[in-house]
Structure formats: structure tokens, C-alpha cells
Amino acid sequence: MSTFIPENIHRQVLGSCVDVPEESPSFPLPLKKVGISGKTVWVHLVDNKGGYLPFNATILVNLAANRRGIHMSRIEQAITSLHGKEFSSLPAYGKQLGNLILQAQNARCLTLELTGHLPFIQQAPVSKLDSIDTIEVFFKLELEKNKAGETVKTGVGAGVHHLTACPCTLSYNEVLFNRFNDPWPQATHSQRSKTQLLVSPPEREQLPSYQELTGILDSVLHISQDLLKRPDETELVLQAHRYPQFAEDTVREVARAAGAKFKDTLAPETRIQVHSLSLESIHIHDVQCSLDTRLGDILTTLQAIKQE
């Protein structure tokens, strides 16, 4: 495509004009986070058999008091430079992208958040048909460079949709209809829920895989599936009613399972976060529940229960 102005003229102007972002601002206050959000990056992952997957990116850097603005185009250039390269994992991509941007912006601090989806294949319990479902995945990087060296904080997360049945109504109906110890659970309302598990170890080399996080969620939740025949639906509904859960139960049980999984592999100061949202079926409101703790605190609770 031809240009309106000859390229050599553009080069001359670039060589002589002021670099506006490098100017001094009229009010010199440092800014902690400046950057872009809502950016789709396409990542070439080995996990996806070399295919590209879209992730939503938020990329923020600090801005010194003596600089007017950041160079937005340099963020895009860093993203473009990684397009076409294959990465072993989303964290591997995120770490390389973060370092490139921090260097290009001549900044000290960077926050990078990537969110997207990965395929999750589940087998239906009775029909044994494969259901091609989805897990939500997250990666967060906080990078700070100073004279003393480099500080890095990373975290990964996974989220799933699952089914919960209310223990309150079920328990009430057992009394109402005098149906204690019935092999078939009593009626109660159920709802689709969404629960996320995020793990942030002190060392970035300790980041668990998304498969490990999904395995934890799958071990304690009644995960939803798109492809279910009637016998499969019956099994899932009965399972959810046999082991009914509040939103509070889902969060605590995920934390318990995370403790059992990582007790020998991650440091006690590893941050464990669990967030759950229940889309209530008989109420207009929804229910939210969150937990933010350390792996060591979970292990202490596990040990206390074991000693009872």
C-alpha cells in the first residue's frame, strides 16, 4: 500500500521532532500503573498441539515523575515479536512478554494479567461419550527491578462451572417427609456455580500446571458437562444431591484438596485463593464466597482435624 507522504520524509521528521512521552509532565507525580487492557493476544501453545489460543491481556507499568507518558506502541511491538513462537505454557509466554515490555518502557515495575480458556475433555459417566468443555485459566505476573535485584511474584489459576444442591432445603424435606437415611436424596433446589482456584507460590519455578488445578477442582466439585445423555444427567444430579454444597462448602473443600495436593511440593507461604459464585435458581440474588489464605494455614487445619 502506497503512502501519502514519502517514507524518507517520515524518517526525517522522526529524527527531528520531540519524543512527547519523554517530555516532562506539567505536574510531576509518579504513576504506579499505566498501560493497556482489553487486548487480545494469540499464544502458540504446545499444550494445544501447537495451535493459537486467544487470551485477554492487561499490561501495566509504572511511570516515573519526570516522564509524561509511556510508549503504547512498544507494548504492541513486544506482543508482535512473540507471535509465531511456540511456548511450553502460558506462564512461559507471560514471563517473556513481561520482561520485553519492562525493558522497552524503561520501567521498574510491571503487572501482567492473562485470562483465557483451554479445552477440557470430560467423559460422561454412563454413555462414556466425550464432552468437549472449557476451563478458564489465569496467569498473573508482578515484576519489579531495582538496584538490589529483581522481585517476581507469579500466580496461576483455573476455573470451572459446576452444579450445587442446597443442603438446607434437602435437610428440611427429610424432616418434613420423615425420610431419614433414604438411599434417594430428597428434593432441593440446585444451581450452576463457578469456582476458581488461584495458586501463587513464592518461587516462580514452583507454579503448578493447569491440569493439576483442574484435577483439584474436579475431585471435590460436581463439574458441569455440555454433552450428557439422560442417564448421565441423572447421575450428575443424584451425585450433587447426595453430596449437597453451600458456596461456603465448595470454597473450603477446594482449599482442603489443594492442601492435600501441594503439602509436599509447595512452600507453606504459598498463597491459595478460592472464589465461588452461585447463580441461585430460586432467588433473584446470587451468592459469592471467597477465601484467601496460605498453604501453611490449610495444612495446620488439616492436621488439627486429623488429631480430633
Report all structural domains of the chain as residue ranges with CATH numbers, in order of start. 32-107 (no CATH), 116-140+155-308 (3.10.270.10)
Among 28, 37, 89, CA closest to 61: 37
> Using CA atoms, how far apart are residues 255 and 289, in angstroms rounded to an integer?
13
DSSP output for 186-239: PP--EEEEEEEEEEE-SSGGGPPPHHHHHHHHHHHSEE--S---HHHHHHHHHH
39 — phi, psi (to 5°)?
-95, 130
- Whether 71 and 21 have beta carbons less than 8 Å apart is answered as yes
> Using CA atoms, how far apart are residues 215 and 241, in angstroms rounded to an integer?
21
pLDDT the model gives residue 113: 98
> Using CA atoms, how far apart are residues 235 and 240, in angstroms rounded to an integer?
9
> Using CA atoms, how far apart are residues 161 and 136, in angstroms rounded to an integer?
9
**What is residue 5's three-state secondary structure?**
coil
- Whether 131 and 225 have beta carbons less than 8 Å apart is answered as yes
> Using CA atoms, how far apart are residues 25 and 71, in angstroms rounded to an integer?
15
Q: What averages of pLDDT result for each successive group of 10 residues across the chain (308 residues)?
A: 86 88 94 97 85 95 96 96 94 95 94 96 96 96 88 96 97 93 91 98 92 97 97 96 96 98 97 98 97 98 88
- Whether 20 and 69 have beta carbons less than 8 Å apart is answered as yes
> Using CA atoms, how far apart are residues 195 and 217, in angstroms rounded to an integer?
8
Residue with cell 490449610: 298
DSSP output for 144-200: EEETTEEEEEEEEEEEEEEEEE-HHHHHHHHHHTT-TT-SSPPP--EEEEEEEEEEE
**What is residue 289's three-state secondary structure?**
strand
Residue with cell 431419614: 180
pLDDT the model gives residue 50: 64
181 — phi, psi (to 5°)?
55, 25
> Using CA atoms, how far apart are residues 265 and 206, in angstroms rounded to an integer?
8
